[in-house]
Amino acid sequence: MNTGVMTQETSSELSQYGSTYLPATYVKFVESSGARVVPIFVNQSDSEYEDLFQSLNGLLLPGGLLDDQLMTSGYGRAGEMFYDLAKKKYDENGDLFPILGICQGYELLTRLAAGEDLLVSLESNDENLNLTMSQGYRNSRIFGDAADWILEALQNYAVTYNYHSFSVTPQVLYD
């Protein structure tokens, strides 16, 4: 199984070490699931991304600090290209191409899916929290088949790690 992991552009003070980087934590995360990591380098051609897409089983969009440059960066452009290819694959054949967005990757995915920025400022720095489930969560893909003990832990204990500055709130999502 080959999983793509998006690289990011290095800041100017680190450019002497290369133009892109890929944090080892994301590589180890993907490898711990038994998958092989395929780095997706930013600022490649559309045809290179299309070729890579055909050889992957999914994509991880890691976190970072692009803020205002997210949609105009090489990371944003490459992420949008893979998002569009995944959507096209599903629309044409019903085939799934999973994309996991963590932090900045989640921000990118919400912007692409909604066609606008739905994020609101919501500081949560180094906190463990429990989850409050929305009505009908048992019918969702992510929680539908989850074991009762997992759902109980998520709802009753502070087991989710939160370290972010933005969020998509239910009010914004459902308005």
Contacts with 63 (C-beta within 8 Å, 6 or more apart), sequence order: 102, 103, 104, 105
Active site (catalytic) residues: 103
List own/partner pairs for 42-47 with CB under 8 A and 24 or more apart: 42/6, 42/7, 42/8, 42/9, 42/73, 42/74, 42/75, 42/77, 42/78, 43/9, 43/19, 43/74, 43/77, 43/78, 44/78, 46/81
What is the CB neighbour count within 10 angstroms for residue 46? Answer: 11
d(CA 69, CA 66): 5
